Amino acid sequence: MNDTLFDMCRSRSLLGRDVKHGSWVKVGYNQYSIDYRKELLRYVLTIDANEQIEAEKLGIAPRFQLIGYSELAAIQYAWAKEGTETAPADAITIWHDVHTYNRHYTIPETKDTAFEPHELNYAELNFIAGAERHEYRYINLDTLSELFDAESLGLEADRTERKVFPCHKTLLDGSMKLTTPFKQAKRNTIDAYLAEQYINDAYFDLEANGVLDPENNVCPTFIIKDMLYNEVIAIRKGGLNRLHQDIKRAQVYSAITSANRVGCSMTVESVVLAHSVKEDEFLSLTSQSNQSKNDVQMALSF
């Protein structure tokens, strides 16, 4: 990881996960990409598998386990909430790839990549005006949702989910929406026993029903709702709306990932860049939006 820290093309995501001013995200090299994290997960799980094999040879219990069921459930939840998986349950699939099907992965030899300022090659995109090139640009999630035909419902159940889950009404975005049943707690928690049951049993039910097949186009955020329904995860009290907004962003990113899978990634990146704006324009647009909100609030207070 130290060697590839600044290998931006290999390890970084094009779109940021932090939403700014309600609906804007950064365009540029951001957090670690999901593909890079998949690679790391394979290596760590292989280390665990090798330790189990060695312990069996020695007739002892494994001396360590880096990722157990609870940790894997947390990773799966985080990945699905980010929205760039190719199919539901990618993290659990990798777990079974290593532990169930005994596919092990060797950490490759790497060379230290020195830090250098990186800029996306905007010069090739003649529809972005201006001679100056900026490290970051910004794009509105509503624009991305329209461009990639995303069904960004958040926690609200879509047509398929309404058939799968016994949905109930919950207040989201100021109105009552049908959602998957969920459990709340003082903080986000994972039930270790239910996580183990889910990973070893429920996962294969999803696989048998075609939910995990990328060709069936099930949104990866489905797995969050399924884990909530099976009480593997309990939501922090007061955290429901934040999760709802995170899942809406994730669903937009999932639509972009689907477009990448069936088309050309360079074309998708070009579309995203073409509809992004420079930082000064982003600051101007969000400033105007904030001023409009303030004007409305002042009028209402009168």
Per-residue confidence at 287, pLDDT binned at 50, 70, 90?
confident
Q: Give the pLDDT score at 2.
A: 64
pLDDT value for 295 = 43
SS3 156: strand
| Phi, psi values for residue 80, rounded to 5° | -65, -35
Q: What is the DSSP string of 38-107?
A: HHHHHHHHHHHHHHHHHHHHHTS--S--SS-HHHHHHHHHHHHHHT--SSTTHHHHHHHHHHTS----PP
Separation CA 275–CA 127 (nearest Å): 9
Grouping H, G, I as helix, E, B as strand and the rest as coil, residue 171 is strand
Mean pLDDT of 167-192: 94
Q: What is the pLDDT of residue 237?
A: 92
Percent of the chain with pLDDT over 90: 58
- Would you state the pLDDT for residue 6? 58
Please check the confidence at residue 91 and state whether its pLDDT lies above 50: yes
Q: What is the pLDDT of residues 10-35, one digit of tens each?
A: 667 778 888 888 889 888 777 888 88
25, 134 in Cβ contact below 8 A?
no
pLDDT at 184 over 80: yes
Task: Find the range with the poorest average confidence among 76-80, 105-109, 147-151, 172-176.
Answer: 105-109
pLDDT value, residue 20: 86
The DSSP line for 228-243 is: HHTTSEEEETT-HHHH
CA distance 77 to 228: 10
> Which among 171, 172, 150, 153 has a CA at the least distance from the CA of 162?
153
Average pLDDT over residues 128-151: 76
Residue 245: pLDDT band by 50, 70, 90 thresholds?
very high
Band (pLDDT 50/70/90 cuts) for residue 124 is low
Percent above pLDDT 70 for the chain: 83
Q: What is the maximum span of the chain, computed from C-alpha positions, in angstroms?
A: 78
pLDDT bin (cut points 50, 70, 90) of residue 297 is very low
54: pLDDT confidence band, cut at 50, 70 and 90? Answer: very high
Decide if pLDDT at 300 tops 60: no
Residue 215 pLDDT more than 70?
yes
More confident residue, 111 or 285: 285
pLDDT band at 280 (very low <50, low <70, confident <90, very high): confident
What is residue 192's predicted lDDT score, i.e. its pLDDT? 96
Task: Tell me which of 221 and 289 has the higher pLDDT.
Answer: 221
pTM here is 0.85
Residue 198's Cβ-count burial label (10 Å; 0-12, 13-18, 19+) is: buried
Gap between the Cα atoms of 126 and 268, Å rounded: 16
**pLDDT tens digits, one per residue of 194-213:** 999 999 999 999 999 999 99
Residue 133 is predicted with a pLDDT of 47
> Mean pLDDT highest for which of 5-9, 27-31, 43-47, 268-272?
43-47
- Average pLDDT of the chain is 85
